[in-house]
Amino acid sequence: MTSPHTTPFTSETLEQQLLQEDALLRGHFRLSSGLHSDTYVQCARFLRRPDLAAPAAAELARRIREAGLQPDVVVGPAMGGVVIGYELARQLGVPGIFTERDDAGQMTLRRGFTIEPGQKIIIAEDVVTTGKSTNEVARVLEGLGAKVLAVASLIDRTGGQASLSFPNFALLPVTAATYAPDTCPLCQAGIPVVKPGSRPEKAFS
């Protein structure tokens, strides 16, 4: 419950902070999914600020609790979900671990991290772009016998259209045009494409 002396954390709050941190970018970008877009959210620039990340994660934790969900573990896929996953886990009072890609590009648990059958999981993401990678993480966790309760993210770029079998908690919906590379009007206009994310080039092949 918000104190009368505490300013509520809203989507507008997050949007303004993203803009202040130069984390909300406009241009011509290649996303982790391989799609092209006119908008990119570089959440690493936002999450480098613990004083900004903590209130955002606290709001996500509040919404999760309000929905009656209590996870045993928060899992944040590397790289984008690691920082927000750790902070969300801290706010929820549970362990925070992360999945990462192996040498073959497959998402997996490493570094001695384990999931016990029956454990309830919140997946933490910085941005849900298409829902594809979130579902990939969910399949890994469910394959270990876990139950995915929800995904919690700073940004939802899907407009609520991600094909997920569990709830999607997001602080800010971002409307952005996305295009297949072979039909991208930005490419056709000769505007150079930028790949601002962390995934290596071979992941697009």
- Residue 130 assigned to a binding site: yes
Q: Is 157 annotated as a binding residue?
A: yes
Two tokens, residue 162: 């991600």
Which pLDDT value is given to residue 204? 32
The DSSP letter of residue 40 is: E
pLDDT tens column, 59-105: 999 999 999 999 999 999 988 899 999 999 999 999 999 999 988 88
> Would you say 127 is a known binding-site residue?
yes
Angle at Cα 55 formed by Cα 14 and Cα 50, nearest 5°?
95
What does each of the 205 residues of the chain score in pLDDT, given as a tens digit?
444 456 788 899 999 999 999 898 889 999 877 889 998 888 999 999 999 999 999 999 999 999 999 999 999 998 889 999 999 999 999 999 999 998 888 888 999 899 999 999 999 999 888 888 899 999 999 999 999 999 999 999 887 777 888 999 999 998 888 899 999 999 999 999 998 765 444 333 2
Query: Which positions ≥6 away from 183 have C-beta within 8 Å?
Result: none
> Residue 194 gets which letter from DSSP?
B
Q: What is the pLDDT of residue 198?
A: 53
What pLDDT is recorded for position 200? 44
d(CA 89, CA 97): 9
Do the annotations mark residue 131 as ligand-binding? yes
The H or E element that residue 73 is part of is strand 73-75
Strand partners, 75: 97, 123
> Binding site annotation covers 83?
no
Domains of the chain: 11-189 (3.40.50.2020)
Structure tokens at 64: 């999760």
- Is 133 annotated as belonging to a binding site? yes
- Give the bridge partners for 74, in sequence order: 96, 122
The pair phi, psi for residue 192, each rounded to 5°, is: -60, 140
- Is 132 marked as a binding-site residue? yes
pTM (two decimals): 0.82
